[in-house]
Amino acid sequence: MDSMVDNLCDTCSTEQHCCTRLTDLKLTRDEYEAQFKKFEENLSVIQSDGVYTVTPRKGTACPHWDRGGCTIYPNRPIDCRLFPYIMTRIDKDKDALKITVIRSSLCPHVDVVCGLMSETETRALVTEFWRKVAGDETRIIVKRESGPVSHLRYWIKEIFR
């Protein structure tokens, strides 16, 4: 799904709320500096442990959203390419980073998109992101969760953040 032709988001029935109501997009430093820094006056940016978490102020759309489409789609950040999977929990211990990934229930094409993205590809994207953040020596463990418990845990976290 690397071209606009393959962009299932073009037929989204939610008017692409993931982009038009963007919240908590996770970026590496390079992604932030290359694609979002110039918009920082319109963004809430939290930097923690090498991860830039970006949310447009006033609930506006992603700054790369224009006329119903993503202007950087072929070069979008890893977290965007990962969607409808969401990195929900990051646990650090002395030996590894443990990243939990769930499927978003908000994406109307979740079954199709997730069917196109293998578990290997999902793990590779998550690993690529965290390698860029934490370095090549860090052991990264990716766990995909599904089902109502993982979604409930995610929504509770969102409510109390």
Q: Please report whether residue 7 resides in a domain.
A: no
> How far apart (Å, rounded) are the C-alpha atoms in residues 45 and 37?
9
Verify that 128 and 95 share a domain, yes or no. yes
* Helices and strands (DSSP H and E) totals, the chain: 6, 8
Q: Please report whether residue 45 resides in a domain.
A: yes
In total, how many domains does the chain have?
2
Verify that 99 and 113 share a domain, yes or no. yes
Q: Could you tell me which residues are beta bridge partners of residue 51? A: 48
Q: Would strands 96-103 and 139-145 be described as parallel, antiparallel, or unpaired?
A: parallel
Q: Please report whether residue 120 resides in a domain.
A: yes
Verify that 91 and 47 share a domain, yes or no. no
**How many residues are recorded in the chain?**
161
Domain end position, chosen among 57, 77, 97: 77
pTM of the model: 0.80
pLDDT tens per residue, the chain (161 residues)?
Answer: 444 346 666 666 556 667 777 889 999 999 999 999 999 999 999 999 899 999 999 888 899 988 767 889 889 999 999 888 889 888 888 889 999 988 876 666 667 666 777 888 989 999 999 999 998 888 999 988 775 655 566 556 656 65
Q: Could you tell me which residues are beta bridge partners of residue 47? A: 52
Verify that 111 and 161 share a domain, yes or no. yes
Q: Please report whether residue 3 resides in a domain.
A: no
Verify that 96 and 137 share a domain, yes or no. yes
Give strand ranges (E) for 20-134: 25-27, 43-48, 51-56, 65-66, 69-70, 85-92, 96-103
Q: What Cα–Cα distance (Å) separates residue 122 from each residue in 113, 115, 132, 144, 156? A: 11, 11, 16, 9, 24
Verify that 28 and 97 share a domain, yes or no. no
Find the domain containing 104 and state its range.
83-161
Whether the CA torsion 37, 39, 40, 46 is positive or negative: it is negative
Q: Which residues contact 111 (CB under 8 A, 6 or more apart)?
A: none
